[in-house]
Structure 1
Amino acid sequence: MKMSSANIHRTLVLTVMTMCAAYVAQAQTPATTPPPSQPAPSNPAAEGDVTTVTVFGKLKPPTSGLTIRTDTASSCGFMSGQNASTADYVRGAIRQQSYDRQTFSASSPFGDASTGFSAFDRSRTADDRSGFSGCSAADYGFAAGRAHIARRDTTMRDAADLFNAGKYPEALAMFKKSYSKMGYREAAVMIAKMHLYGVATEKDVPEAIKWFEDAAAGHEKVTPRPYDPTRPDRMSPKAEASMMLAKIYLIGFDVPKNPKATRKWFDRAYDLGFVPAGKALGDIYYFGYDTPRDLGKAAKLYTGAAEYSFAPAQYALANILYSGEETIKADPNKALDWYWHAARQKHPGATYAVARAYDLGENVKADPDRALSLYKEAAIGGDGDAQNALGTYFYNGQILPKDQVMARKWFEAAAVRGQADGMFNLGVMMMKGEGGETDHTKAYAWLTLAQTAGHPNAEAVLKILEGRMTPAEKAAAEALLSPQA
């Protein structure tokens, strides 16, 4: 079904343009099982110890300067072989000077006549017509001409203005003109996205893939820059196209899933300096996604992304080091250090891990007040373990005033995230009518889910609860656990 014009802008700008940001959000999931939740103090009840509670933005035209990269050369450093675009060719006239001649400029590609020197060194023989680094006079002239055209070209800006004005057919035509005239990869990426989602054209995933591949063409390796969480989608057009291709093949977006292609394009994006792609590759090898599990590769990739400040990679690496896995020895001190790095970036899981260290005095001096503060931060950030821990503080009246209503709310927050202790604790409180009304039906459902998640006391409490339930409550609980399609 085609999108309405009212929703097109939001779809492309908030969804398409931030697809990689969504992947980063997805990357927050722990790569390994986090440290166990904080055990709750004993609180015997009438039924026995088993029932005790346990814890829209605007599209912007390209802003990069007109510099020609010399590391994409085929013959002289201006071109990148058959995959070169006009934009690539244009982007090097300035940087070329550091490799070839100190005075090269697009305005005067053949040198300054007033100096008496031409574009070529006097030591060159008449038979050597190549100039410096294998570049001929024609190469310099062509680069200068392209730079002259690019400085005056407005096609990409015009396309962006049309897109932001909601004139999508006109924008698509202008993006294509921009790509045809200048070879801007940004234009190819936008054309691909419009085909991917059927905006101003029929939805055509194979056509989108073709455009993404054009945008991503030309392999190179770029030194990553530290990850900036305030700009999660900051990457080159080539890296963005590579990430889009990886996601398409990962989820099977109207094409068959292709793990090999997924790895290829994540690897390409990582080579292009997009740090989250390294974490994605690490997850593939950690979990063995259609490839043999390789903890060594996973740890190496996590380490690489962690060193460039990507918090999810820091957290994943810390989880491995916390307990050790396979050939990787446990190193709790180093794990805590990585947890701290990730926690400083407000990573909820890492913040919980640091809070737990202060709570239990693991590799740091115990500090209950600091632990509580960090538990709060992690709980508000959405970490299920921290939400359950905070619930135990309210339930038991530790540091915080005893408040069963608040305890039940935090246990419920943890439960809906699938945290086993939270599900068990919520079920117990519902069974007893603590912090709210007694609800045997929901209590049974939550305790059953806790049992499935492996909580050791859930089975015993379920037997107690079953003896109190009416046939109608049991039927209602079964309906909750087995919803009809």
Structure 2
Amino acid sequence: MSSTGSGYDGYARRFIRDDSGDYKFSARSPYGDASRDDNGDRAAEGLGFGGGRRSVGGCGPADFGFASGRAQIRARDTTMREAVDLYNAGRYSESLAMFKKSYSKIGYHEAALMIAKMHLYGVGTEKNVPEAIKWYEKLALQPNRSGRKSISTYMTPMVEASMTLAKIYLIGFDVPKDSKAARKWFDRAYDVGYAPAGKTLGDIYYFGYDTPRDLAKAVKHYTEAAQHGYAPAQYALANILYSGEETIKANPKMALDWYWHASKQKHPGATYAVARAYDLGENVKADPDRALSLYKEAAIGGDGDAQNALGTYFYNGQILPKDQTTARKWFEAAAVRGQADGMFNLAVMMMKGEGGDTDRTKAYAWLTLAQKAGHPNAEAVLKILEGRMTPAEKAAADALLAPQT
């Protein structure tokens, strides 16, 4: 039996099915029948079970009585609150016992999740990963009442249990690493309505993490999660469509559409892509002012490409006033994020003493990193810089680049 609903009556409706829509249910009424008064007598004709107490959706009087009874018990139950209070007071072993009592009595998903966590990390009991896994599985395999019909980024207890199981097997947390089991639990998290799990599955197949790379499966998962509004999946799908890969044909126009959807959710990379489209006039009418506004938004959001672009605006004095100090700051922000152009541009400004002090030591270090990142001009400028450096500056640069121990 199943149904939907929320609150006091909603909890009881989990135990019944009323597809007809004409049954007047209330957990507080006798037998759950709102057409009867407190004495159980008929309150109005044409409502409720009728004289013969008909069943609704396959559920009879006993089912409605059970549902109502369960709701009454739940309404009076205090075990979950007591368990949380004990936990917050640091009385962990007592809290664990109360969480178990709460789960046994009512079946709270939150109680099962806390029991699993406490066994996993050894809180209020000895660390026991197999026992934790048992509780996580108990919760993760609960009947799925919504699933992909209501995909979101909301982390329900069932989702958290599934995602935790996936991570346990992915990293081998006191169990042997098992990529197949990890994928199984990521898939379960997606089945119970968690969009980020779909993106993760897409990444697994796209990059071939412990499984053969499968672009078709990756695109399938990215597309499903993207269609449910998950910005990182929209961005990943757009990146594939922008240039095309293997059997996936390039479709820059569709890519821009997905970038746009993700940018509406403040995804920095997608916002940069939309800014670039307005900057270059790709599949949209060129709009430098709008491009600059979007570059700013993406740069503030932490996108390295946008930070480098914004630095370039300030360095060249394009639209914005020329400001080498601010340009250097944005190039540095991009460089710290590993953006090759940002590293190169910052190094050149440090060589010349633009926007700040001359620093050949750091310039050499940044140029070396830019070269390793594939910047085409870094090697040539490195040779020029090396010829200008003192032995002490070169030694200091080598020290900066040496692995930290």
TM-score for the superposition, normalised by structure 1: 0.74
Deviation by residue 1:83-142 (Cα, 9 ceiling, x = unmatched): xxxx8xx5524x512269834555444866646533446xxxxxxxxx963x56655544
Deviation by residue 1:378-407 (Cα, 9 ceiling, x = unmatched): 000000000010111111111111111111
Name the count of aligned residue pairs. 387
Q: 1:398 aligns with which of 318, 341, 344?
A: 318
- Aligned partner of 1:300 in structure 2 is 220
- Aligned partner of 2:396 in structure 1 is 476
- 1:75-474 to structure 2, matched below 5 A, reads 92-93=14-15, 96-98=17-19, 102-103=23-24, 106=27, 107-109=29-31, 114=42, 117-120=51-54, 133=58, 139-218=63-142, 220=144, 222-225=147-150, 227=152, 232=153, 234-474=154-394
Whether the 8 Å CA contact 2:198–2:224 is kept in 1: the answer is yes
Whether the 8 Å CA contact 1:224–1:274 is kept in 2: the answer is no
Whether the 8 Å CA contact 1:185–1:237 is kept in 2: the answer is yes
CA RMSD, 1 decimal: 2.5
Shift of 1:64: 5.1
Whether the 8 Å CA contact 2:170–2:178 is kept in 1: the answer is yes
Whether the 8 Å CA contact 1:101–1:132 is kept in 2: the answer is no
Partner letter of residue 222 of structure 1?
A: G
Deviation by residue 1:35-69 (Cα, 9 ceiling, x = unmatched): xxxxxxxxxxxxxxxxxxxxxxxxxxxx953568x
Q: Return the alpha-carbon distance in structure 2 between the equivalents of residues 199 and 418 of structure 1.
A: 39
Change (3 A) 1:219 1:145: closer
Equivalent position SS for 2:290: helix
- 1:10-25 to structure 2, matched below 5 A, reads none
Change (3 A) 1:161 1:459: same
Change (3 A) 1:459 1:342: same
Instruction: Say yes or no: does 1:65 pair with 2:7.
Output: yes
Shift of 1:164: 4.2
Change (3 A) 1:482 1:353: same
Q: Return the alpha-carbon distance in structure 1 between the equivalents of residues 32 and 133 of structure 2.
A: 41
Deviation by residue 1:147-187 (Cα, 9 ceiling, x = unmatched): 33122212123323443455444432321210121121110
Whether the 8 Å CA contact 2:275–2:290 is kept in 1: the answer is yes
Partner letter of residue 218 of structure 2?
A: A
Shift of 1:279: 0.9
Deviation by residue 1:410-453 (Cα, 9 ceiling, x = unmatched): 11111111111111111111222221222222111111111111
- Aligned partner of 1:75 in structure 2 is none
Whether the 8 Å CA contact 1:168–1:200 is kept in 2: the answer is yes
Whether the 8 Å CA contact 1:100–1:132 is kept in 2: the answer is no
Shift of 1:265: 0.9
Q: Return the alpha-carbon distance in structure 1 between the equivalents of residues 91 and 331 of structure 2.
A: 49
Whether the 8 Å CA contact 1:224–1:275 is kept in 2: the answer is no
Whether the 8 Å CA contact 2:271–2:297 is kept in 1: the answer is yes
Moved more, 143-152 or 261-270: 143-152
Shift of 1:195: 2.6
Q: Return the alpha-carbon distance in structure 2 between the equivalents of residues 108 and 483 of structure 1.
A: 74
Q: Return the alpha-carbon distance in structure 1 between the equivalents of residues 267 and 109 of structure 2.
A: 33
Equivalent position SS for 2:388: coil
Shift of 1:363: 0.9
> Structure 1 regions of 5+ residues with no counterpart?
1-62, 69-86, 122-130
Whether the 8 Å CA contact 2:54–2:60 is kept in 1: the answer is no
TM-score for the superposition, normalised by structure 2: 0.87
Determine which structure has greater relative contact order: mean sequence separation of CA pairs < 8 Å that are 6+ residues apart, divided by chain length.
Answer: 1
Change (3 A) 1:404 1:104: closer
Whether the 8 Å CA contact 2:32–2:67 is kept in 1: the answer is no
Change (3 A) 1:456 1:118: same
Q: Return the alpha-carbon distance in structure 2 between the equivalents of residues 413 and 110 of structure 1.
A: 63
Shift of 1:251: 3.1
Query: Percent of counterpart pairs with the same letter?
Result: 74
